[in-house]
Amino acid sequence: MGKKRKRKPNRNRKLVRLDAVVQARLASLAKAAKYRGYGKHKLNSYDFGGEPKAHRWIAHEGEAVSLCDHTAVRQQAVAQRLLEQAFLHGTVSRQTAKGGGWPSIAWAVVDEECVVEARCDSGGNGEYHGYPLQSGDPMKDKVMRRWRERERGIQDD
Could you give the percent of the chain with pLDDT greater than 70?
66
For the chain, give every domain's residue range.
Answer: 20-37+68-156
Q: Say yes or no to pLDDT of 93 above 90.
A: yes
Per-residue pLDDT tens over the stretch 13-65:
899 999 999 999 999 999 999 998 765 555 655 565 555 555 554 544 555 55
Average pLDDT of the segment spanning 129-133 = 85
How distant is the alpha carbon of residue 2 from its chain centre? 31
Distance CA 157, CA 142 (A): 23
pLDDT digits (tens, 9 = 90+) for 58-90: 544 555 555 555 666 767 788 899 999 999 999
Count of CA atoms in the C-beta half-sphere (13 A) of 1: 6
Report the half-sphere exposure of 89 (CA within 13 A, side-chain side): 25
Mean pLDDT over 134-150 rounds to 91
Identify whether the C-beta of residue 56 lies closer than 8 Å to the C-beta of residue 50: no
pLDDT of residue 13: 86
CA 60, CA 151: separation in Å to the nearest integer? 41
pLDDT, position 1: 45
Query: What is the phi/psi pair of residue 96, to 5°?
Result: -110, 155
| pLDDT given at position 68 | 55
Is this prediction's pTM over 0.85?
Answer: no
